[in-house]
Amino acid sequence: MTMQRWRRLLRAGLVLVALLGLAGIACGAPDPLLDDRDALGAAPTGRILFAQNGDIHVWDGSTTQITHVGDASYPRWSGDGSRFVFVRTGDAFSDLYIANADGSGMEQLTFYQPPIQPGTEAYIREAMWALDPVWSRAGDAIAFVSDRNTLKNFLWLMPAPGENPYQIQASTYNGENVEHPDFSPDGQRIVFAQRTTGENDLQRWTQLWVVDLNTEQLFPLVETNEGAYDPAWSPDGRWIAYTGRTGAENDIWVVPAEGGTPIRLTNFGNVRAPTWSPDGSWIAFLQTDGGSFKAVAAPFSVGEDGTPRLGEPQELFKGSGIDATSGLSWAP
């Protein structure tokens, strides 16, 4: 083969490689701007709690049902992942329970069913709700919402499992129901969603607030007239992920924990309930899947310009009867 012919073949080969590269990008090859974990094929690990058909399940690569009570919801891991707290719902009341990681050793923490005939006026008046529990990652405290001694669900704090809870007075400031609290990693602050009413009772949405447990100072985090809920504090304390509603669409957003401009991470329009991996490198959330939900996880990163973003989502599990309101909880 002459040198001239060899050079022509070499040039043709380089052109072919370039064209194939462009075709790969056009066909959906990995975006070089995405986190390197996408290209390396990394997969999320750990254990994720969720509620399905009235019982608690755990995903650790496959899913396993760990309670068999038929009335359980809203599971959340303890800080060390050895136990979890959850809700059991009865006739016009609900209570908090804890259990070991495998569902054994179930223990009741609150006793909000009155010892009188169900369905009577007195029963309805005295029955109470304990909802949306979350266990501090920094200790034994459990926060939850309840209508105990009030007509609205406000924020309560149980210093340790089984101890007498007390109301966080700052949560009553706006006079509306509180939902979905979550602790800061150091256990000193709580973010929560609180309902807001517009010009009439038909105009209702939720906004995000943060309360300092030492001073009970309250400050607004996300103020919107469409809806912000399901807040989840990142393990490094820098970010709070949440579900934001825009029109009829629900997507995952993040906002700096100290306050700032919210940033939209997804554009699916049909997702909710974000939770962080223990190392903060992934965000998992629920997405509608026909008539049910599936759990997906996407790598989280912050660019050189300080802008947070998500990589390509990976499906973790799906199934009928997954309770999206109960959300997800992730432990190592």
Residues 88-140 have pLDDT tens digits of 999 999 999 999 999 999 999 999 999 999 999 999 999 999 999 999 999 99
| Range 194-202 average pLDDT | 71
The single-letter code of the amino acid at 315 is E
Contacts of 89 (CB under 8 A, 6+ apart): 71, 73
**Cα 246 from Cα 229, distance rounded (Å):** 12
Report yes or no: 65 and 77 within 8 Å, Cβ to Cβ.
no
Give me the chain's average pLDDT, please. 88
**Cα 242 from Cα 163, distance rounded (Å):** 30
**Cα 132 from Cα 137, distance rounded (Å):** 16
Report yes or no: 66 and 57 within 8 Å, Cβ to Cβ.
yes
pTM for this one? 0.86
For the chain, the residue count is 332
**Cα 154 from Cα 185, distance rounded (Å):** 22
| Range 240-266 average pLDDT | 97
Domains in the chain, ordered, with CATH? 50-331 (2.120.10.30)
- pLDDT level of residue 276 (50, 70, 90 thresholds): very high
The share of the chain scoring above pLDDT 90, in percent, equals: 82
Considering only CA atoms, which of 273, 317, 323, 327 is closest in space to residue 70? Answer: 323
**Cα 139 from Cα 160, distance rounded (Å):** 8
**Cα 110 from Cα 97, distance rounded (Å):** 7
The token duo for 37 is 């974990």
In what order do the strands lie in the sheet containing 218-222?
Answer: 178-183, 189-197, 204-212, 218-222
The token duo for 52 is 């399905």
The SS3 call for residue 96 is strand
- pLDDT level of residue 40 (50, 70, 90 thresholds): very low
**Cα 3 from Cα 249, distance rounded (Å):** 63
Is the confidence at residue 266, as pLDDT, over 60? yes
Is the confidence at residue 205, as pLDDT, over 80? no
pLDDT tens digits for 167-187? 999 999 989 999 999 999 999
The token duo for 236 is 């490094």
End-to-end CA distance of the chain: 61
Using CB atoms within 10 A of its CB, is residue 54 exposed (0-12), middle (13-18) or buried (19+)?
middle
The predicted structure's pLDDT at residue 225 = 87
The predicted structure's pLDDT at residue 32 = 31
More confident residue, 225 or 48: 48
The predicted structure's pLDDT at residue 42 = 82
